[in-house]
Structure formats: C-alpha cells, structure tokens
C-alpha cells in the first residue's frame, strides 16, 4: 500500500468547484469565537460540497490568517455570507422554504444515526458557540434539532468535529 500523491486524487480546481453541483445544505455558524473552527467549517464544507456557509453574529470572516490556517484555501471556493445575527439568517432561509435544524442536545433532538432520508427541500444546519451552544433565541426559530449520540464522559464534541460528523451523514444521504 502507498499513499496517493495530491495529483493522483483528481481534485477540482477552485473554479471547477464553484461551478460544480452542491448538496443543498448550508452551514449556519451561531457566534463561533474560534477562527480556527471557522476555517475548519470552510474546509469541511468544501470536502462535502455544501452550498454555503453563513457566518452570523461575531463569527469571524475571511480573509483572516487564522481562518486560512485551517481552511487551507477552502474559504476561496465555498460560498459564504455574513449576517448581523443568526436569527436574521434563519428568517431569510425560512422565507426561501429552507428547513432549518440545529445541532444541539435538547429535549426534542433526534439522534443523527436515526436519520435515513434527507429533507425534500434545502436544509440549513445551525452550529452553536463553543461554550454556550445554540442560543435559546435561535432554538425557538428552528424546525428541529439533531444530536450526535455519544457514550463518553464529555457532553459534547468540538464544534468543527461535530460538523464533520453531521456533514458526512448528510452528504451520504444526499448522494444516494
């Protein structure tokens, strides 16, 4: 066995990626404080061909060296939009007939592994602040909540790790 070289992977150029089909999923970042996490979202959104990343509240935006450090240029390929508040982003998405889910542990969240089909329309997935999670105001606006089942001693995953798990599942469902 040998590791494949970058040129053997057949990856798209930024221009090809911008014009290629995407899965109809938008990542909505609700006041993320870490620019490294923001960069990781861009890189993961690129990997799974998400439609866009919405940066809400005080979530940092490109161009920024800390974002670029973890995004590795994906912030140049993935569409993004800055919103003053997460609530504004959600209301705009809902006006476009987009289903909006939060990734949060709630009394009504459904386990990610119980998801066997994707919504019929476009989906936005809200990820919350690294310390406080998805804000109560935002939870009052979403259509539902997803939760990643966990069995360890900690109550949560790093938000960018969480995104990788959720986006892989959605990518798998949309590409079936």
- 118-157: per-residue pLDDT in tens? 777 899 999 999 999 999 999 999 999 999 999 999 989 9
Residue 14 lies in a domain: no
- 50-74: per-residue pLDDT in tens? 999 999 999 999 999 999 999 999 9
Q: Which domain holds residue 55?
A: 19-148+158-174
Residue 11 lies in a domain: no
C-alpha torsion sign, points 56, 57, 63, 65 = negative
Return the structure tokens found at 100: 């909006």
Q: Is the distance from CB of 61 to CB of 82 less than 8 angstroms?
A: yes
43/102 Cα distance (integer angstroms): 20
Average the pLDDT over 4-17 and give the result: 90
Residue 28 lies in a domain: yes
Residue 59 lies in a domain: yes
Virtual torsion, Cα 168, 116, 98, 57, nearest 10 deg: -40
Instruction: Indicate the number of domains in the chain.
Output: 1
DSSP of 28-54: EEES---HHHHHHHHHHHHHTTEEEEE
pLDDT at 120: 79
pLDDT at 45: 98
Helix H or strand E encompassing 65: helix 65-71
Q: Tell me the CATH number at 143.
A: 3.40.1280.10
Residue 104 lies in a domain: yes
DSSP state of 1: -
From edge to edge, which strands make up the β-sheet containing 144-147? 80-83, 50-56, 23-30, 123-127, 99-103, 144-147, 110-111
Residue 9 lies in a domain: no
**What percentage of the chain exceeds 70 in pLDDT?**
100
1/8 Cα distance (integer angstroms): 14
**What percentage of the chain exceeds 90 in pLDDT?**
91
- 173: Cβ contacts below 8 Å, ≥ 6 apart: 115, 116, 117, 118
Q: Is the distance from CB of 85 to CB of 58 less than 8 angstroms?
A: no
Residue 8 lies in a domain: no
Model confidence, pTM:
0.95
Residue 67 lies in a domain: yes
């Amino acid at each position: 066995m040998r590791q494949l070289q970058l040129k053997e992977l057949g990856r798209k150029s930024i221009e090809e990626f911008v014009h290629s089909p995407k899965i109809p999923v938008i990542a909505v970042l609700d006041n993320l404080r870490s620019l490294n996490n923001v960069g990781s979202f861009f890189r993961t959104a690129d990997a799974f061909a998400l439609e866009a990343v919405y940066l809400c509240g005080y979530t940092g935006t490109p161009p920024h060296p800390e974002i670029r450090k973890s995004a590795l240029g994906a912030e140049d390929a993935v569409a993004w939009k800055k919103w003053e508040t997460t609530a504004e982003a959600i209301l705009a998405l809902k006006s476009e007939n987009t289903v909006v889910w939060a990734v949060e542990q709630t009394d009504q969240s459904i386990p990610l592994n119980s998801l066997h089909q994707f919504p019929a329309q476009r989906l936005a997935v809200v990820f919350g602040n690294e310390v406080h999670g998805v804000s109560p105001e935002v939870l009052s606006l979403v259509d539902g909540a997803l939760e990643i089942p966990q069995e360890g001693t900690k109550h949560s995953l790093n938000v960018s790790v969480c995104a990788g798990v959720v986006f892989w599942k959605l990518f798998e469902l949309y590409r079936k």
